[in-house]
Structure 1
Amino acid sequence: MFNSISSQASKLVNLTKKNSVISKSKILTITSGKGGVGKSTFTANIAYLLASRGFKVAVIDADIGLANMQVLFDIRPRLSLFDYIEGRNTIDEVITKTPFNNISLIAGKSGYQYSSLKTSMFLTRIVDDIKELNNFDYVLIDTGAGLNEYVQEFLSISDNILALTTTDPSALTDVYALMKMLSRDKEKLLLCFNHTKKYQIGETISKSLINLAQKNRLNPNFMIKYIGNVSTSTNISTTSRLRKLFAHEFINDHITLQLQKVIDILLKEIK
């Protein structure tokens, strides 16, 4: 089953490359494997900090059925990406402005039964259509947890993939499964650790994952790039409950400064 899905994803990415448009928009897919590592909060705050540097950012909430990005941006979108997928609205109509300058959201929809659709190629099309608009510098795709076919499709169409993980053993197991899958046809995986006190902890674990990949003879040309860590902070959980972004509320907090360092590396790595 897994190999079948992977094969379908590979066909989709080849089709996408043939029909790709020239656009300034750079795609970054943010994934995790395991749920509950703080991926959506991380994505929303990364979007804010990119926007604060003057970049125009679009965020796609691609967590199928469990969307919560609108909560983090404290908005109630009238339309979601599924209105586009089902043909009721255009791509322009489903893009919602947020309260933050330079940030737009293509919202998901909690509880949506996506299985009613026969093909996931619609997901590829929405990214192509956003790129064709040529309105955004960066498009951040916040995937769902796991490696289901929808997550795999978003991974297949992006050359820039960032995995957010923690030091939890199950989270690391999922990251390694992600590494194995991506090593088949991707050049690299960017890796960031959340809820990790010191930069060196993530660095050490990243080296261990690289060594494991070499031991198991994954594609030697596939690179793992450790780009930083984000420490645990009560400010993060507090602001999330209040529907605020901690990077906006706590500009000089050490967590925000850690995220700024992550963005410094992202800007160099994203193609």
Structure 2
Amino acid sequence: MYNNISLQASKLVELANRVKKNSYKTKIVTITSGKGGVGKSTITSNLAILLSKKGYKVAVLDADIGLANLQVLFDVKPQNSFFDYIEGKCSLQQTITKTPYENIYLFAGISSFEYSSFKNSFVFSNFVKDILSLDSFDFLLVDTGAGLNDYVKEFLAISDNILAITSTDPSALTDVYALMKMLSLNKRKLMLCFNHTKNYQIGENICNSLITLAKKNSLKSDFMVKYLGNISSCSNIATTSRLRKVFVNEFRNDEISLQMELVLRNLLLNIE
């Protein structure tokens, strides 16, 4: 069994290296979280809007296997999910859903379904490579599921730009530290954004504490944790989501929108 696991890991690293060696126009940003319910998909959709307002063409891949909800946030009804392409039911172009927002396109998933037949087959990594090969987008935002299951690890492996969304909840911080330990084995950095966090300084202090803990536990010395900013709690975010609207598009001058602008600004400074 150990040999099988090692072989699968080697193949995934090989595929990830192939993706990186190709000079694609599209930059991948993988957005993840250890704990569910921290607002990962909401932040993903808002970052997509802010990128599009800067003139970028953005693709969003709903890679939360079995719990996809970005079609709700973008208020679209996709004709095909990316699983239809994986299963050979449609072309890659037919999986692209135009959203109501200029320059934002969705590769939709499907909720409430099991995809165990795809386990360890690397179809998700290959699908991302197919999107990159289109050379049609400036950015590809990959919204993963919560946790560190095999599906999430596959999406993490093919990107050097990984943004973790967390909160100050102790269990969320424990999960982020586990993510740091895993990524430090073969990645150079992890970017962090704190959601439901009162101010920038609180997130920065906790981020520094995580870095100190990592040093005490001998994580790779050259592994970097980059703090991008915080998003404060705001009832209007949940309200806009229920109305199938995106917060930064409805409340452009709100403090929360400005916080998201800062997160995006720092993200653009740190992506490779």
> Same fold by TM (over 0.5)?
yes
* Structure 1 gaps, min length 5: none
Equivalent in the alignment of 1:111: 112
Equivalent in the alignment of 1:130: 131
- 1:117 Cα offset (Å): 2.8
User: Does the 8 A contact of 1:9 with 1:152 survive in 2?
Assistant: no
User: Does the 8 A contact of 1:196 with 1:230 survive in 2?
Assistant: yes
User: Does the 8 A contact of 1:162 with 1:192 survive in 2?
Assistant: yes
Equivalent in the alignment of 2:212: 211
Q: Percent identity?
A: 63
- 1:61 Cα offset (Å): 0.2
SS in 2 for 1:260: helix
Question: In the superposition, relative to structure 1, how do residues 267 and 4 fare at CA in structure 2: closer, same or farther (>3 Å)?
Answer: farther
Equivalent in the alignment of 2:81: 80
Equivalent in the alignment of 1:187: 188
User: Does the 8 A contact of 1:196 with 1:232 survive in 2?
Assistant: yes
- 1:16 Cα offset (Å): 3.5
SS in 2 for 1:264: helix
Question: How many residues are paired up?
Answer: 271
Inter-partner Cα distance in structure 2 for 1:16 and 1:186: 11
User: Does the 8 A contact of 1:22 with 1:132 survive in 2?
Assistant: no
Equivalent in the alignment of 1:14: 14
Equivalent in the alignment of 1:36: 37
SS in 2 for 1:109: coil
Inter-partner Cα distance in structure 1 for 2:14 and 2:45: 30
Inter-partner Cα distance in structure 2 for 1:91 and 1:74: 21
SS in 1 for 2:163: strand
- 1:59 Cα offset (Å): 0.2
Residue identity in the other structure for 1:178: L
SS in 2 for 1:144: strand
Inter-partner Cα distance in structure 2 for 1:177 and 1:77: 35
Inter-partner Cα distance in structure 2 for 1:29 and 1:6: 24
SS in 2 for 1:58: strand
Question: Over the residues paired in the alignment, what is the CA RMSD in angstroms?
Answer: 1.7
- 1:10 Cα offset (Å): 4.8
Equivalent in the alignment of 1:141: 142
Residue identity in the other structure for 2:188: E
TM-score normalised by length of structure 2:
0.96
User: Does the 8 A contact of 2:16 with 2:159 survive in 1?
Assistant: no
TM-score normalised by length of structure 1:
0.96
User: Does the 8 A contact of 1:30 with 1:161 survive in 2?
Assistant: yes
- 1:268 Cα offset (Å): 1.1
Residue identity in the other structure for 1:11: K
- 1:6 Cα offset (Å): 7.9
- Does 2:88 correspond to 1:91? no
Residue identity in the other structure for 1:186: K
- 1:112 Cα offset (Å): 2.0
Question: In the superposition, relative to structure 1, how do residues 245 and 68 fare at CA in structure 2: closer, same or farther (>3 Å)?
Answer: same
Inter-partner Cα distance in structure 2 for 1:29 and 1:240: 21
- 1:235 Cα offset (Å): 1.1
* Structure 2 gaps, min length 5: none
Deviates more, 1:9-18 or 1:110-119: 9-18
